[in-house]
Amino acid sequence: MTPSTPVPLVALCAILTALSPSRARAEVRLLDQDLVFHAQATGGTPQAEPPAQKPPALDFDLLGPSKAAPAVDDSTLRLRRTLLDWHQGIGLGMFALQLATTVVGQLNYDDKFGGANTNKYATTHSVLAYATFATFVTAGVLALVTPAAPQRRDGFDRIDLHKIAMFTAAGAMAGQIVLGIWTSGREGNQNQQSVAMAHLVLGYVTLAAVGTGVGALVF
Amino acid sequence: MTTAILALLLSAGLPAGTVLSLDAAQSEIRYTVVHKLHQVEGRSREVEGKAVVREESLVISQVRVPVASFRSGDANRDSHMLEAVQAGSFPFATWKGVIRLGPGGEVPAAPAVMDGEVEFHGVKRSLSVPIRITAQPDGSLRVQATFDVSLDAHGVDRPSLLFVKVNDACSVAVDIVLRR
């Protein structure tokens, strides 16, 4: 302290020093960068902070160059995923349509052969049936053009079950179309109800097959 | 008798310079991802690995596995996984770790923490993994560990089913055998 130092300034410094925490941690930023000096004050005497234990370096390579990994084409996988996403979305829509077709088909059968024969469900049933068929074909074509999975298959899996169910549904749906058209053509004939019943049963078979196919992938 | 001696030697400690190689036939890495409707578990036995004992009982280790080698029993899900992790661009998942043995190089009897990093989907993340090391009667060391890897942290666009993504945490279980 020089004799010229004003007394109030000296007093202020002394007060601040007395009020400072005994183990205050000061952080002084140097320059404008993230260069930081950590200082720890103990009773006013600066002490170096004990160095933190440096984590062991991981810049080693014990294995050397890797064996050639199985070839995987990311662009093919992306295309596969895009097509399968569309297949999934359209397939779920088809499942909803199939369910609606079956319900309305049952109502149509009941109306025609057990009710007032108002024919009020016939058009709705036809529209739903053709919409179901169209979405079924679309979903099927998407599945057929989708690139195969790059990995070999190990035994029977959910995809096999899905395919079996969907081929069953395709066969049953084709049978339904034939029987549906035949039923319409048997108007006034005694066997119309029998043909309609076969069409109805096949409708439930289709619904069950589609449900199995969807469930195989979802659950 | 020989195996008993080997087991005794291992329990006595691993001197510096010891090199342990992974026995792929007896090693397996599993991953488990959880979806609201499913839990998928993939397994791979195509694991490479090595551990080297350095001075001061420090062991460095590295394990590598091709992501395309995992099988879940469902080829469709496996291909979905490959697409999510971009297996063509990032074909391997790698673990590098360091652990300190006992003062005489003894294998820790209780689970110990191995510090290291996981490189997955081209992203490296530090990770501390509790591992259990067991000396086997045939002189090998069995190393087991279970830990979670965040798919988001590794930049993986999580796969989804019915518009619902799998959980972020991918559980990894390592069960490997190391031999001199």
For B92, the closest of A69, A71, A84 (CB atoms) is A69
Search chain B and give the residue with CA nearest A57: B98
Q: Residue B46: its pLDDT value, please?
A: 92
**Interface predicted TM-score (ipTM) of this complex, two decimals:** 0.76
Chain B residue with minimal CA distance to A152? B75
Q: How many CB atoms lie within 10 A of CB A10?
A: 11
For chain B, the maximum distance between any two Cα atoms, rounded to a whole number of angstroms, is: 59
Q: Which of residues A37 and A81 earns the better pLDDT score?
A: A81
User: Pairing relation of β-strands B141-150 and B112-120?
Assistant: unpaired
Amino acid making up residue A37? F
Domain-by-domain residue ranges, chain A? 74-218
Q: How many CB atoms lie within 10 A of CB B115?
A: 16
| Residues sharing a CB contact under 8 Å with residue A197, sequence separation 6 or more, in sequence order | A109
Is A219 in CB contact (< 8 Å) with chain B?
yes
pLDDT (tens digit, 9 = 90+) per residue, B131-179? 999 988 888 999 999 999 999 999 999 988 878 899 999 999 999 999 9
Neighbours of B55 (CB within 10 A): 7
* pLDDT at site B171: 96
Intervals of chain B under pLDDT 70: 1-12
Enumerate the residues of chain B whose CB falls inside 8 A of the CB of residue A149.
Answer: 75-76, 78-79
- Cα–Cα nearest to B175, from B141, B149, B150, B139: B141
Check B60 against A81: CB less than 8 A apart: no
Please determine, for residue A5, whether its predicted confidence score (pLDDT) is greater than 70.
no
Extract the runs of DSSP E, i.e. beta strands, from chain A: 25-30, 35-42, 45-47
Between A11 and B82, whose confidence is greater? B82
CB contact under 8 A, A218 and B61: no
Indicate if the alpha-carbon torsion angle A155, B32, A146, B66 is positive or negative. Answer: negative
Q: Within an 8 Å CB–CB cutoff, is residue A187 touching chain B?
A: no
Written as one letter, the residue type at A47 is: Q
**Whole-number pLDDT of residue A25:** 42
Q: Would you place residue A59 in the very low, low, confident or very high pLDDT band (cuts 50, 70, 90)?
A: confident
B61, B66, B86 member nearest A69 (Cβ): B66
The domain covering B2-179 belongs, at the CATH homologous superfamily level, to Lipid/polyisoprenoid-binding, YceI-like (2.40.128.110)
Chain mean pLDDT for chain A: 79
- Mean predicted confidence (pLDDT) in A112-116: 89
Mean pLDDT, rounded, for A79-102 = 94
More confident residue, B124 or A32: B124
pLDDT, residue A11, reads 52
Residues 116-155 of A with CB under 8 A from B: 149-155
Q: Cα–Cα distance between B169 and A10 in angstroms, integer?
A: 60
Are residues A74 and B64, on separate chains, in Cβ contact within 8 Å?
no
**Pairing state between β B141-150 and B123-135:** antiparallel
Q: How confident is the model at residue A55 (pLDDT cuts 50, 70, 90)?
A: low
In angstroms, what separates the C-alpha of B79 from chain A's closest C-alpha?
6
pLDDT at A26: 41
